[in-house]
A = this chain, B = another copy of it.
């Protein structure tokens, strides 16, 4: 049963030649707006020629382009009249994907429910005050999150370092850390021994630790000044770091806002360096 044109497309997109597939993808990307424009605009957006667009709609089973547009408009009309039914109710998608998404969304709500605005503001403030250096590090699967956060923070303020590579390398960086510095650690199950040892040593040197972990709390929590506990359970073989990722983005945004004045100047300076 094919109800919407979007389904029709994703059903046949596999059998389409390259050019028409581009058309399909650009249409899906911001559905259904591109389809309401003229053939010329559609083709320009997709980077193909007009005839390809027409062949595309022909393959979908429409006699001509206006007929295709009418179908899109009808669909849009039905959709606008019942706005509530449009926002993804769990039953409509049905497939194996939906439970994963639902669980992830729940995780985020839960994570933020246990996270007060004040707590986030405090952490952001600590990251924004430029007394010392900021170091970031993560575990096997969470190190990309540390990288992601470092990439953003490094733009709006100086002295941001992501600790990468072999353990011996970042262990030696301990020598540079002191009580004015901040260490952001990502560590979820199964907690890594090496990270715990590293955190302990940093803690003894007076470094303030901000820990991103799961709801069962990494042993590093003992040494941490701030602990962010995210929900990670999803119906999959793996744990999900998505909630922690969103917290990280939220913090990045908050820090950016606090450093607005200084940060804006810094960004301009960076731009001029290219």
Interface residues of A (CB under 8 A from B): 6-7, 10-11, 13-14, 21-22, 25-26, 28-31, 33, 36-37, 47, 73, 76-77, 80-81, 83-88, 92-98, 100-101, 104-105, 108-109, 112-122, 140-141, 143-145, 147-148, 151-152, 215-217, 219, 221-222, 224-225, 227, 229, 234-238, 240-242, 245-246, 249-250, 252-254, 256-257
Residue in B47, B98, B108, B234 whose beta carbon sits within 8 Å of that of A117 in the complex: B98
With A238-B256, A246-B242 known to touch, is A97 a contact of B120 (CB < 8 Å)?
yes
Task: Indicate if the CB atoms of B242 and A249 lie closer than 8 Å.
Answer: yes
Task: Indicate if the CB atoms of A249 and B100 lie closer than 8 Å.
Answer: yes
Residue in B25, B86, B151, B254 whose beta carbon sits within 8 Å of that of A83 in the complex: B86
What is the minimal beta-carbon distance from A101 to any residue of chain B, in angstroms? 5
Task: Indicate if the CB atoms of A118 and B87 lie closer than 8 Å.
Answer: no
Bound Cα distance from A31 to B113, whole angstroms = 10
Task: Indicate if the CB atoms of A112 and B141 lie closer than 8 Å.
Answer: no
Closest to A203 in B: B18
Bound Cα distance from A10 to B119, whole angstroms = 6
